[in-house]
């Protein structure tokens, strides 16, 4: 009986956490293409947000956010874990492909004292467009860093930067050597965190591979949370 009560309590707690996350989420229109993909999903903690994250997904960037908040493509880790930052008092906004990243930074300024852009894989190619909005930090996760470097141009434009990369990432566009080269290019401005282990299946550039941090999502979320907390 005691075990049953404990189990029910844990299930109830998990359900309440899930409901709290769902209640906190709202659809925001950041303006976008004529296809109407300028939507974003906003998650805010109950109290004052410690920081705000602008989440840029990989691939073509389109996750299919509906007017009702539904998500057609939620396999990407950055989409799956979008509400995980709430328990640390951090707000996040997850962008669909047509949403304006710079506008998202400005929007989050009204919610949190510090705004960090988190870019997954091909989402890194949008980071240069956010710099005019002066984010307080940048996180590159499994990012296409050679392409991002060319678009940023001068590492002096970057705010404090964190690189999170899987040591076994075998995607040809995001090989581990590119993370080392990018860190060196920044002249020490960027810190590099390596992720190991987890599981990997299918296309090495897709969400179920090491590239997508399968089984290591918690470590990535923790690294981003710690980085956000370190900014002043």
- pLDDT class for 24, splitting at 50, 70, 90? low
CB contact burial 168-205 (16+ within 10 A = b; e otherwise): bbebebbbeebbeebbeebeeebebbebeebebeeebb
84-104 mean pLDDT: 95
The pTM of the full predicted model, rounded to 2 decimals, is: 0.88
Mean pLDDT, all residues of the chain: 88
User: Would you state the pLDDT for residue 201?
Assistant: 93
pLDDT, tens digit, 9 for 90 and up, residues 7-19: 333 333 333 344 3
Structure tokens at 115: 């705004």
Tell me the β-bridge partners of 22.
Answer: none
Q: Is the pLDDT of residue 151 over 50?
A: yes
Separation CA 97–CA 62 (nearest Å): 4
Whose CA is closest to 201, among 182, 191, 215? 215
User: Would you state the pLDDT for residue 80?
Assistant: 92
pLDDT, tens digit, 9 for 90 and up, residues 77-92: 899 999 999 999 999 9
pLDDT, tens digit, 9 for 90 and up, residues 107-131: 999 999 999 999 999 999 999 999 9
User: Would you state the pLDDT for residue 31?
Assistant: 76
User: Would you state the pLDDT for residue 188?
Assistant: 86
Separation CA 108–CA 130 (nearest Å): 12
Separation CA 121–CA 219 (nearest Å): 17
Q: Is the pLDDT of residue 95 over 70?
A: yes
Q: What burial class does residue 93 get, using C-beta atoms within 10 Å of its C-beta: 0-12 exposed, 13-18 middle, 19+ buried? A: buried
């Amino acid at each position: 009986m005691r075990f049953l009560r404990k189990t029910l309590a844990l299930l109830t707690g998990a359900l309440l956490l899930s409901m709290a996350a769902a209640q906190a989420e709202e659809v925001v229109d950041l303006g976008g293409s004529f296809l109407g993909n300028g939507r974003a999903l906003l998650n805010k903690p109950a109290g004052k947000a410690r920081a705000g994250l602008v989440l840029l997904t990989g691939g073509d960037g389109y996750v299919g956010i509906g007017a009702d908040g539904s998500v057609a493509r939620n396999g990407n880790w950055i989409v799956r874990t979008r509400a995980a930052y709430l328990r640390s008092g951090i707000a996040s906004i997850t962008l669909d492909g047509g949403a304006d990243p710079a506008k998202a930074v400005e929007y989050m300024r009204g919610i949190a004292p510090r705004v960090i852009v988190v870019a997954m894989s091909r989402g890194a190619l949008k980071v240069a467009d956010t710099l005019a909005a002066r984010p307080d930090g940048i996180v590159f996760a499994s990012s296409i860093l050679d392409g991002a470097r060319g678009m940023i141009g001068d590492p002096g434009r970057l705010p404090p930067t964190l690189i999170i990369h899987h040591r076994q990432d075998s995607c040809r566009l995001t090989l581990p050597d590119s993370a080392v080269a990018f860190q060196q290019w920044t002249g020490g401005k960027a810190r590099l965190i390596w992720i190991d282990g987890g599981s990997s299946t299918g296309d090495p550039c897709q969400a179920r591979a090491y590239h997508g941090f399968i089984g290591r999502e918690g470590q990535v979320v923790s690294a981003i949370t710690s980085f956000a907390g370190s900014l002043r």
